[in-house]
Amino acid sequence: MEKLGFSFSKCSVLSLFLIFCGASNATLHQEYERAQQRAIDLHRHLTERDIAALLAAQQQATVGDSPHCNAKATVSEQQSLVTALHNEWKSLKGLSRDAAKRRYIDKIQELIREKLGSS
């Protein structure tokens, strides 16, 4: 996938999920880690929009609000992964880290049902 002068694969983008961890609730943390592992199984079936939604929830869960929540996207390509991620993450402003982890877990479960037909 080539966007904005650099290239990356869906698999490498999804591997970013595994870099970040941290939770106050051990059960939620374990469920979140399992969801991250399941994302790897899904990588071939995901659209850029799916990836953006997952990355946004992951960023909100680990970093908190986007530092650019009030900024407008400057990327001219409206369908680019970078713009989609920016918009998705911005839409999660104010969502707690635990709620973002729950959103990530729910999105993984939804995508597994949708893309792989199982849970």
Higher pLDDT among residues 47 and 23, named by residue: 47
Share of residues in the chain with pLDDT > 70 (%): 67
4, pLDDT greater than 50: no
Our count of domains for the chain comes to 1
pLDDT of residue 74: 53
- What is the pTM assigned to this prediction? 0.60
C-beta neighbour count of 58 within 10 angstroms: 26
pLDDT of residue 108: 93
* Three-state secondary structure call for residue 83: helix
Which DSSP state fits 72?
P
Sequence-distant contacts of 33-36: CB under 8 A, at least 24 apart:
35/104, 35/105, 35/108, 35/109, 36/104
Q: How far from 7 is each of 54, 64, 78, CA to CA, in Å?
A: 19, 26, 18
Q: Which domain holds residue 15?
A: 2-116
Task: Tell me the CATH number at 22.
Answer: 1.20.80.10
